[in-house]
Homo-oligomer: A and B are copies of this chain.
């Protein structure tokens, strides 16, 4: 992915303290849509899932589609004719923000010398953009998936700074099932000899490990129900001899192969490892001793919590717990369990269900 012409950068001066270390003068990449009001009361801060860049939507400077194109723009649910939207590339990622693949002042790239990354660090790096833009209060902090956890971290670390909180298909903490899946994804990358303990040449990265990890990710991002309808038992070939090397018999296998191949080359392997582990480590209970105590630190006035019935990576019960936990302090909590069949990825594809829910929140 080449850098968007819409991409802007903030460099945080001096030493940036992280939860488990520090780095010198990191850069945070971001994009914006719409205009801030003179009163500065219409800003929306958006955090992303693990893999996207800050290019959430098209804009005059970059007319290519963004990862949430249907959600952000004039007259769209996050209406940029009224709202000023800021999306940040996560610290630790590789689309403009400083991460394991970035050059460091003393030369070379960080690789595994990058400090252990947390979502709290990503939230604080996002706040550096907010401060740079002179936004003293946010209309809302928003995020899906990992971004929804980061939005929680932001709301905990900066209580009262955001009037609203929107957390989509996220959770207050990672549970062992999703930890196990992500741990295995990381092991697939680390097991690729080309990973070389993080010291791969950037022109010969661990493509095998990344491809396998991506396939596992794709399986966990969707749902059995959707795939049964889409693929059934369609064969890619009727010639079983073609599969004598056990590669492809069914359409679902072709689909995974094609999509995994698209992913490799766009994401740095070490960055992936850091961001994936940051999701495992996240736990609202780290802020006050329990999930309840952590959520009680959030001083938003309104919250929107959305989850999907077929999401088995972030099961609906986790969003229900979030909504219930926010109730006592936030008061106005809107919980939407959606019957989408596309699993965890629904927020990217089932727009007919997600658009009205998000639109209603921002109309209010």
> Which residues of A come within 8 Å of B, CB atoms?
20, 112, 116, 173-181, 183-184, 186-188, 190-191, 193, 197, 208, 212, 215-216, 219, 223-224, 227-228, 230-233, 240-241, 243-247, 249-253, 256, 273, 277, 280-281, 283, 312, 315
Contact = CB atoms under 8 A, between A and B. Distances in A.
B277 A243 contact: yes
A148 to B, nearest CB: 18
B246 A175 contact: no
Contact of A177 (B176, B191, B228): B228
Contacts of A224: 175-178, 312, 315
Contacts of A252: 176, 179-180, 183
| Chain A interface main SS type | helix
A281 to B, nearest CB: 7
A228 to B, nearest CB: 5
Q: Which of A112, A178, A190, A256 has the most CB of B within 10 A?
A: A256
A216 to B, nearest CB: 6
A244 B183 contact: no
B219 A180 contact: yes
Contacts of A215: 180, 184, 187
B176 A228 contact: yes
A78 to B, nearest CB: 31
A112 B179 CA distance: 35
B187 A219 contact: no
B256 A175 contact: no
A134 to B, nearest CB: 35
Nearest to A191: B208
A181 B219 CA distance: 7
A256 B180 contact: yes
